[in-house]
Homo-oligomer: A and B are copies of this chain.
Amino acid sequence: MKKLTLKDVAKQLGVSTATISNAFNRPDQLSSSKRTQILDACKRIGYTGPNRAAQILRKGQSNIVALVLADSLDYMVTDPVANTFIQGVSRVLREYHKHLLLYAGDSESIIDVVDFVDGFICYGAPRNPELSVQLKQQNKPVVTVDFNMEGSPAINIDNKQASYEIAKAALKPGDKVAILGLRLIESPNTCRIYDSPLLDAESSITHRRLDGYCQALEEVGIKVESDWIWNLPENAGGYAVQAAKEVLSCHPRPDVILCMSDIIALELLQCALSMGIDVPGELRITGFDGIEEAARTRPYMATVCQSSAEKGIQSAKLLLSGENESMSLPYEVRLGETI
């Protein structure tokens, strides 16, 4: 009960293997009558088509696209922003009959798949920086999202401008301001950044957001102090709760807290409300991303809305098109009721 091969089929039908191969892959290379005859015969004897592994080796093409997520799958797969991104990617891949291999950004190396995938979509700077190096060195197409890699096209929103705008809307002269940031420095848990060495300062989107906040602060005449900037190692509820508690128990308490994600902002809001703090009366809060949950809070969260699904769609299309032009997607500043 061994599996049939092209060769077996060719022998049975009394034609060459090339003809069978052509029947499946290049209809223009043989008469259509012969083709249907072959295809019918294959179905009859139970040959389901060329072996994919052999095809991948020979053609150098697999129809598999690797999606390199910033962090471990474990974490990424529950992040709502990442989710809608994956959703967008999957829609396009499906349309083009491509398959999706999920790859964790904290993996040791990428070389165990690089030989057989057709390309990479890299969503956020990989937690393991070694991966970026490897991606740059190999020569399959790469599209990056929410960060930049020399030589590869990127999909982004203008993070600096967006965060500048939302901050500008939230700030008044004389405000005491705190920032809840994300992966600005290397740290295992929530902490203030002080003067720690920055992480990927040139390529990271959260640094772009920080730039935007700082510009707004300066324009309003507020001095940026690094001990009022917190760093969360991951965009997950747990870290956010901790940061929220810390920042809200400071004396004097900030008038405005700029959060680099909605997840953080939501936990902060909930924490503030449960402490009896009036938002936006005593405390203004801004988020970032525009996730669904942030549209259901009371008061309604002020945030920057961007479409993760659209990012997914565009990045997949870009990868498959083979073009090399970066793309800046639109965003929308939603003022809400928290500022």
Contacts and interface: CB of A to CB of B under 8 A. Distances in A.
A102 to B, nearest CB: 5
Contacts of A60: 53
B74 A78 contact: no
Interface stretch (A81-89, A150-158, A214-222, A261-269): A81-89
A117 to B, nearest CB: 9
Contact of A53 (B57, B78, B83): B57
A94 B106 CA distance: 10
Interface residues of A, number: 39
B104 A101 contact: no
A45 interface: no
State the number of copies, please. 2
A235 interface: no
A57 B107 CA distance: 24
A112 B52 contact: yes
Contacts of A73: 86-87, 90, 94, 100
Nearest to A84: B78
A199 to B, nearest CB: 23
A78 B72 contact: no
Contacts of A52: 112-116
A103 B113 contact: no
Taking each of A90, A91, A111, A113, which has the highest tally of chain B beta carbons within 10 Å of its own beta carbon? A90
Contacts of A56: 53, 56-57, 116
A196 interface: no
A99 interface: yes
Contact of A111 (B48, B77, B86, B97): B48
Given A111-B49, A115-B52, A64 B101 contact: yes
A29 B54 CA distance: 27
Contacts of A203: none
A63 interface: yes
A51 interface: yes
Nearest to A49: B111
A100 B101 CA distance: 6
Nearest to A86: B77
A161 interface: no
Given A53-B57, A90-B77, A99 B113 contact: yes
Nearest to A89: B73
Contact of A94 (B53, B63, B72, B90): B72
Given A52-B113, A53-B57, A72-B94, 18 more contacts: A52-B115, A52-B116, A53-B60, A54-B57, A56-B56, A64-B101, A74-B90, A74-B91, A77-B87, A77-B90, A78-B80, A90-B102, A90-B104, A97-B112, A99-B101, A99-B112, A100-B101, A101-B101
